[in-house]
Amino acid sequence: MKSKALTVESYLESLSPDRREAIGTVRKVILGHLPAGYYEGMHMGMIGYVIPLESYPTTYNGQPLMIAALASQKNYMALYLMCVYGSTDTASWFKEELRKSGMRLDMGKACIRFTRVDKLPLDLVGRTIARVSIKDFIAMYERSRAPSGP
């Protein structure tokens, strides 16, 4: 469910205590591993971790490039890892590390749905966020936007 909250703090306050605690735990992991230059704020109704437009203004939709996002949906919470979605190398690495962890995730291409924070491999989430610098994420984005074919 898209939130109308304007700040991360007001977003968190709007959540039920159990969701606030779970989202807060994942948020702490992300913030503890977020490479320099990204910032946290409300984006698209979610807590987003983005490259500010001042650092990279030429996006296809005029919005900051988002490496990750956190949201509380109706029936689950979601962690969006755009850094996994946008890179086949990172996606392969992530899936292999996930296999090694023995955990199973309810996961789409970028979205990991969870009902409890203990169902997330938090260490892997942190390592995934940490491995994608702004330079690497911009390069990934630019490759995805480049014309294909002759």
**Of 56, 57, 47, 40, which Cα lies nearest the Cα of 23?**
47
Position 105 scores a pLDDT of: 87
- Whole-number Å distance between alpha carbons of 4 and 44: 9
Position 109 scores a pLDDT of: 84
Angle subtended by helix axes 17-33 and 122-130, to nearest 10: 40
Instruction: Identify any residues that bridge with 2 across adjacent strands, giving them in sequence order.
Output: none
15-50 b/e (C-beta count within 10 Å ≥ 16 → b): beeebbebbeebbebbeebbbeebebebeeebbbbb
User: pLDDT digits over 64-111, tens only?
Assistant: 999 999 999 999 999 999 989 888 899 999 999 989 988 888 988 889
Q: Domain residues of the chain, as ranges?
A: 8-143
Position 54 scores a pLDDT of: 95
When pLDDT is averaged across residues 116-143 and rounded to a whole number, the result is: 94
Provide CATH code, domain 8-143.
3.90.1150.200
Position 149 scores a pLDDT of: 63
Position 65 scores a pLDDT of: 95
- Cα-based distances in Å from 64 to 14, 43, 50, 80: 24, 9, 6, 15
Q: Tell me which of 5 and 135 has the higher pLDDT.
A: 135
Position 4 scores a pLDDT of: 87
User: pLDDT digits over 32-60, tens only?
Assistant: 999 999 999 999 999 999 999 999 999 99
